[in-house]
Amino acid sequence: MSETPSRQTVFQGKVLDVGLEEHLMPDGRSVTFEIIRHPGGAAVLPLLEDGRILLIRQFRPAVGRVIYEIPAGRLEPGEPAGDCAARELTEEAGYVASELLPLGGCWSTVGFCDEYIHLFLARGLSVVPRCLEPDEFIELCPMPLADALRLVASGAIDDSKTQLALLRYQLLVRELDNDRFA
C-alpha cells in the first residue's frame, strides 16, 4: 500500500484541507479517495474536587444545535496532545490540572478523515480565568458521573469523543473499585 499517495488539494480553508488522493489497493489497483487531512485533536474530561465531572454545552453550527461535550480542540503544529488538552481545559473551562491521565483516543471518522482525538482525564483542578475564542459561547455543566452516563444512555449526550471519554472513565472507576474490594 502506498506510503506517499499522490494528492490534489481541492479545497484549503482555515480548518479543512480537502484533497483527492490516489491510493494503491491490496489488489494493486489505484483508487481515488476524497480525504480530509486534519492535525488531530485532544479532549479532556475534568474531574472536579467534589467528585463530579464537568461537561460543557455549546452551539455547534455543523449539527445546528447546542450539545454536551467535553473541552476539546485541534493540535497546533508540533503541539503534544497533553499540552493541547491542558490549553483547552483552561480556555474553555477555566481550570488547570495537576494531573492529566490518558484515556485512550480514536479516529473520529476513518472513511474520509485522519482526525485522531487524544482523550484525557484531568484531576487536581484549580480555577483560573477562562479565555474563550470570539465565536465560542460555552456553558459549564458539572454533574455526577452517574447522571452523565444516564445522558449517554438516553442519547442526550451524543458527541462521540464525549461518550468515549465518559465510558472509558467509568471502566477505570470500576477497575479501581474491583481492585479495592478484591
> What residues line the site for a second copy (CB under 8 A)?
1, 3, 5, 10-11, 13-16, 18, 20-21, 23, 25-27, 29, 31, 33-36, 59-64, 67, 69, 74, 104-117, 135, 137, 152-153, 155, 158-161, 163-164, 167-168, 171
**CA geometry: angle 18, 159, 155, nearest 5 deg:** 140
Give the single-character DSSP code of 47. Answer: B
Cα 28 to Cα 1, 23, 24, 32, 34, distances in angstroms: 8, 9, 6, 13, 19
Query: If you search the block for the grid coordinates 483516543, which residue do you land on?
Result: 105
Q: From CA 157, how far away is CA 67, in angstroms rounded?
A: 7
CB of 27 to a second copy, least distance (A): 7
CB of 116 to a second copy, least distance (A): 8
- Output 15 or 182, the one with its CB closest to a second copy: 15
- Output 90 or 116, the one with its CB closest to a second copy: 116
- Output 24 or 128, the one with its CB closest to a second copy: 24
- Output 129 or 155, the one with its CB closest to a second copy: 155
- Output 16 or 128, the one with its CB closest to a second copy: 16
CA–centroid distance for 73 within its chain: 7
CB of 62 to a second copy, least distance (A): 5
CB of 29 to a second copy, least distance (A): 8
Q: How do beta strands 138-143 and 65-69 pair?
A: unpaired
CB of 41 to a second copy, least distance (A): 8
Give the single-character DSSP code of 110. Answer: T
Q: 119 near 161, Cβ under 8 Å? A: yes
